[in-house]
A = this chain, B = another copy of it.
Amino acid sequence: MLTGGPSAAGGVDRGPFVAPDVAVVGAGPVGLAIAWRCAARGLRVVVHDPAPGSGASHVAAGMLAPVAEAYFGERELTALLTESAGRWPGFAAELAEATGADLGYRTEGTLVVGLTSDDLAEARRLWAYQQGLGLPVTPLRPAQLREREPGLAPRLRGGALAATDHQVDPRRLVPALRLAAERAGAVLVAEPVRRLREVRAGVTVVAAGCGAAVLTGLPVRPVKGQVLRLRAPGGGRPGFRHVIRGYADGEHVYLVPRDSGEVVVGATVEERSDLDVSAGAVLRLLRAAVDLLPELAEYDLVETVAGLRPGTPDNAPILGPLPGHPGVLVATGHHRHGIVLTPVTADLIADLVTGGGPDPLLAPFRPDRFATTGDAVPVAAGAATTPAHSTEDDSWN
């Protein structure tokens, strides 16, 4: 056991007024998966969130893409993404077993495509880097792309297959995780946590996404993403099976097909904290999407939505003990990678809670890599000193 000393027994009812072993702040996929893992190990777990699953995961596309998202200068993050993506098949199977839920987990793989020769040149630089890391990315000629997806625009200049980059539906994942956590004994409390000292528990895990900033003083900032949801006409499935990630006249876009007929089109990356949907963002996303896959023009536009990713100064998550706060662990800052990182985060944080030594994988992501005030920022001061945060985010869960 890391700190704070939760008592051992999970099966013994110590009454409603006994502090739980673990309090998780935040019922997004990360918080719920941690709660599930901890409860399954016999700990008494409470999860605090007034609106489970209403944060970044509600907007997320659910790409599990350690290969396509292996960017320059992020080798340690790529290692964590790869590790977590490797855990996803087992995680999905276990979750489906525990709940009977269909998570929309699909393994057709991802096609990365370039519309113009400039787009293709940009993509090729990254593929060379990814291949240099030993990641499975296979360049394909236009004819090979269209063999796999006949709907792709004839003028595409080239692409690549990332066969191991899969997808899951976050809007199915979150209710499944909640059910699994509750079946394992975790209790959801639909009330917000405004300060850490309100929480009474052996260990507190802050998995509050953007809300972690005011609770912990850590440099987590909202990174706005706008996302569209289309629907194939006539109630059918989309006319393509792979996740498609495209470079289209300099615009980066992804297209994620679901069996339900839904296609997720995303996403902007904006240093803003509002949740407004802008005409310009919708225009850019639709233009890039239709340029890559012309049939999408005939699809219904059924949703436009914005969410806030929890970003950090180095774009990597913050995982581990909060300096100066014995008994507090942090699992936030997952930025664009919350869904893919859910399994490894849940496993490694549960290890810390139950007293396992920190996994070496966690070392690059410790909270103490950032200077903090040594004490959590009070809500009011936090709001005042982080003007980029919307007021909706100043409290969380």
Output the nearest chain B residue to A289 by Cβ-Cβ distance.
Answer: B279
Q: Mark A268-298, 1 if CB is under 8 A from B, else 0.
A: 0000000011111011001101100000111
Output the nearest chain B residue to A282 by Cβ-Cβ distance.
Answer: B301
Contact present for B276 and A233 (CB under 8 Å)? yes
A156 within 8 A of B: no
Interface residues in A, total, Cβ within 8 A = 22
Q: In the complex, A276→B277 CA distance in Å?
A: 20
A298 shortest CB reach to chain B, Å: 6
A304 within 8 A of B: yes
A267 shortest CB reach to chain B, Å: 15
A299 within 8 A of B: yes
A259 within 8 A of B: no
Which residues from chain B contact A299 at a C-beta distance below 8 Å? 278-279
Contact present for A287 and B297 (CB under 8 Å)? no
Q: A300's contact among B279, B290, B298, B300, by CB below 8 Å, is which?
A: B279
Q: Mark A129-161, 1 if CB is under 8 A from B, else 0.
A: 000000000000000000000000000000000
Question: A197-244: which residues lie under 8 A (CB-CB) from chain B?
Answer: 228, 230, 233
A244 shortest CB reach to chain B, Å: 15
Contact present for B304 and A278 (CB under 8 Å)? no
Q: In the complex, A298→B277 CA distance in Å?
A: 9
Contact present for B304 and A283 (CB under 8 Å)? no
Contact present for A286 and B276 (CB under 8 Å)? no
Q: A286's contact among B230, B286, B302, by CB below 8 Å, is which?
A: B286
A282 shortest CB reach to chain B, Å: 5
Q: In the complex, A302→B280 CA distance in Å?
A: 12
Q: In the complex, A285→B280 CA distance in Å?
A: 12
Contact present for A279 and B290 (CB under 8 Å)? yes
Output the nearest chain B residue to A284 by Cβ-Cβ distance.
Answer: B297
Q: In the complex, A301→B275 CA distance in Å?
A: 11
Which residues from chain B contact A301 at a C-beta distance below 8 Å? 277-279, 282, 304
Task: Decide: A286 near B283, CB < 8 A? Known: A278-B301, A301-B278.
Answer: yes
Task: Decide: A230 near B279, CB < 8 A? Known: A301-B304, A304-B301.
Answer: yes
Chain A interface (Cβ within 8 Å of chain B)? 228, 230, 233, 276-280, 282-283, 286-287, 289-290, 296-302, 304
Give me 18 A-to-B residue pairs in the complex whose CB atoms sit less than 8 angstroms apart, sorted by A's number. A228-B279, A230-B279, A278-B299, A279-B286, A279-B290, A279-B296, A279-B298, A279-B299, A279-B300, A280-B296, A280-B298, A282-B282, A283-B286, A283-B287, A283-B290, A287-B287, A301-B304, A304-B304
Please name 13 further chain A to chain B contacts, defined as beta carbons within 8 Å, in addition to the given A280-B297, A282-B286, A283-B287, sorted by A numbering: A233-B276, A277-B300, A277-B302, A278-B300, A278-B301, A279-B296, A279-B297, A279-B300, A280-B296, A283-B286, A283-B297, A286-B286, A287-B287
